[in-house]
């Protein structure tokens, strides 16, 4: 039995190392071959391109078709598909949130996880354009992402440590693109203090870690219905703290949209 466990552990370790090496290869090759799909590395030309060439979205049709898009009725908080519940899943019924809703585009798994990794840690900013059409097709509880429904678009701020490590704010890039596409005012009015990375903490400690660490920097009016943009929805702690701050500065309703639900 011990030998079997050792072999199983070794096999798991080997798979992890292979996946890590493939990610590193992708991160190195994509800048050299900018017209290749960031996931399968096939050459992007003509009918292989999922998006129009002028969008510079580095994803092929085959990979785009395999992205696990969430659909149907979903929980207003965690975006988990609903079976019989009205607006909230059983896990979120006793949850108190400062935001009115969160809508995630994908499940954070498989090719989406790879795509987000390449975007955030492979420093492939062009991947942001892959997500824009999916965001624009979302039907959130607050409505479609149109000027008639939202008064501003606000990115969830990255921590100073993340900005230093990655060199850019992934949510801010997407938010700016969405604002450009929709005409909704882009208002990056939130800043974040230093602290422990959220992914290192348990669910119960995430909210405490962010408490008092999100700050409002007045620039322009955010209006009563801002749309908050983030990458991954896990517990909702980040969106909750940001929404509390926004409501202290004029927001009446805050809706959140995220790339994926973990």
What ranges do the domains of the chain cover?
A: 67-261
pLDDT of residue 224: 97
More confident residue, 72 or 212: 72
Contact partners, residue 27, CB within 8 Å, separation at least 6: 118, 121, 122, 123, 124
- pTM of this structure: 0.79
Strands 190-192 vs 214-216: parallel, antiparallel or unpaired: antiparallel
92 compared with 200, residue with greater pLDDT: 92
Q: Which one has a higher pLDDT value, 262 or 153?
A: 153
Give the pLDDT confidence score for residue 53 in this predicted structure.
46
**pLDDT score, position 52:** 47
Cα angle at 38 between 32 and 41, to 5 degrees? 75
Cα–Cα distances (Å) from 218 to 187, 221, 246, 249, in that order, read 9, 8, 11, 9
How far from chain centre, in Å, is Cα 121? 13
- Secondary structure element (H or E) that encloses residue 169, with its range: none
* Range with lowest mean pLDDT among 116-125, 145-154, 250-259: 116-125
Question: 118, 36 in Cβ contact below 8 A?
Answer: no
Lowest-confidence pick of 5-14, 20-29, 109-118, 175-184: 5-14
pLDDT: which is higher, 76 or 193: 76
Q: What is the pLDDT of residues 171-198, one digit of tens each?
A: 999 999 999 999 999 999 999 876 555 4
């Amino acid at each position: 039995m011990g030998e079997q466990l050792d072999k199983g552990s070794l096999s798991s370790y080997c798979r992890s190392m292979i996946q890590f090496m493939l990610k590193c290869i992708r991160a190195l090759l994509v800048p050299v071959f900018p017209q290749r799909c960031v996931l399968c590395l096939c050459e992007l030309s003509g009918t292989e391109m999922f998006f129009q060439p002028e969008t510079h979205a580095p994803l092929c049709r085959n990979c785009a078709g395999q992205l696990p898009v969430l659909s149907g009725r979903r929980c207003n908080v965690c975006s988990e598909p609903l079976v019989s519940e009205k607006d909230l899943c059983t896990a979120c019924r006793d949850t108190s949130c400062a935001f009115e809703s969160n809508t995630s585009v994908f499940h954070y798994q498989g090719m989406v996880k790879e795509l987000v990794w390449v975007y955030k840690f492979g420093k492939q900013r062009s991947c942001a354009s892959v997500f824009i059409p999916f965001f624009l097709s979302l039907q959130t509880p607050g409505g479609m992402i149109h000027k008639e429904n939202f008064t501003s678009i606000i990115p969830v701020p990255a921590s100073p440590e993340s900005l230093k490590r990655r060199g850019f704010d992934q949510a801010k890039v997407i938010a700016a693109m969405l604002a450009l596409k929709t005409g909704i005012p882009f208002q990056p009015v939130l800043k974040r203090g230093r602290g422990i990375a959220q992914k290192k903490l348990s669910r119960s400690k995430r909210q405490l870690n962010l408490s008092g660490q999100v700050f409002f920097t007045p620039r322009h009016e955010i209006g009563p219905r801002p749309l908050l943009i983030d990458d991954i929805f896990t517990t909702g702690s980040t969106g909750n703290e940001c929404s509390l701050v926004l409501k202290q500065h004029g927001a009446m309703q805050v809706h959140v949209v995220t790339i994926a639900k973990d």
